[in-house]
Amino acid sequence: MSDPVEAEPAFEAILTRLQDVVGELERGDLPLERSLTLFEEGVRLVREGGTRLDRAEARVEELLAANEAGIRTRPLDLSEPRKQEGAPSSTPSRTSQRESR
């Protein structure tokens, strides 16, 4: 059984297709029926893209709320060697930085 998220086109694919549709419509040399068909597709793409953005925003808000609830994070520093789980970090977390203020 396939994952429903995989069945949906990527946001970037939606945006690319929408740009193509707008480009075709802006040329202005299409027959009326083709223009209407493209316009309908564009409206559908805008709605789908908006839904995707709304879901992404909700995920970000959920992650930020979880962070405010006490999950400690720190900026990723790729120059530091990777530490084992449970080893103390030499870089204070953002939460501990806020708490010490």
Is the pLDDT higher at 66 or at 23?
A: 23
The 10 Å CB-count burial string (b at 16+, else e) for 59-83 is eeeeeeeeeeeeeeeeeeeeeeeee
Is the pLDDT higher at 8 or at 59?
A: 59
Is the pLDDT higher at 50 or at 86?
A: 50
Is the pLDDT higher at 31 or at 92?
A: 31
Banded pLDDT at 53 (limits 50, 70, 90):
very high
What is the residue-averaged pLDDT of the chain? 78
What is the rounded distance in angstroms from the CA atom of residue 53 to the CA atom of residue 40? Answer: 20
Domains and CATH numbers, the chain: 7-70 (1.10.287)
